[in-house]
Amino acid sequence: MEIILKYFSDFTQEQLSQLTALKGLYEEWNEKINVISRKDIDALYEKHVLHSLSIAAIADFQPGTQILDLGTGGGFPGIPLAIFFPEVQFHLVDSIGKKIKVVQGVAEALQLKNVTAAHSRVEDIKNRKFDIVVSRAVAPLADLWRWSKPVLKKSAVPGKQFEKGLICLKGGDLAQEISDSGLKPRLVKIYDIFPEESFQEKFVVLAKS
């Protein structure tokens, strides 16, 4: 938890309590359903929570913004972002039901009123649109954009540096992946935001049409 407070300081008491509770909740759920590797549980706040919050460091989501977390896994980046932005609505989806069970359990324990979760593929989401799609290394950029485009609203929302589109967390050499996608995304080096060794070669990728 100390590593979160190293970079963020303006949390409410409720947010601090929610963030502090994450470690115990994920340890408890991981005993039943393995959603986080054993070695990463010990580095939960750095490798999962702070990594997720790199999006919050560059995108100031306005109250009422609707965000889809595509392939959320155990709830990243959606759960940390939902704690950070309590006035923003998050819908977390994953095609693996047991992972959504964990997400629902964590969100309920934290009393996150701005989180909904569904065992669903993004292609099956009908009659609902979002301002922004977020995702964490679940597929190549071309696929993420293909899945995101049908569920993105046409009109933009106000934001600090990003209005509407796809924001994903990725690592490594992305040149081929970006070329294959046909997009011209903006890349932000996470190490420039949080200079921690584990964030070398990791990026926030912001893509829009």
> Does 78 belong to an annotated binding site?
no
* Strands of 95-179, DSSP E: 115-119, 132-136, 165-171
> Does 123 belong to an annotated binding site?
yes
Distance CA 53, CA 7 (A): 10
Strand (E) or helix (H) holding 206: strand 202-207
Which is nearest to 169 in space by CA: 151, 194, 152, 187? 187
> Does 93 belong to an annotated binding site?
no
> How many residues are listed for the chain in this entry?
209
> Does 128 belong to an annotated binding site?
no
From the CB of residue 133, how many other CB atoms can be counted at a distance below 10 Å? 24
Binding-site positions read 71, 76, 122-123, 136
Which residues contribute to the annotated binding site for S-adenosyl-L-methionine?
A: 71, 76, 122-123, 136
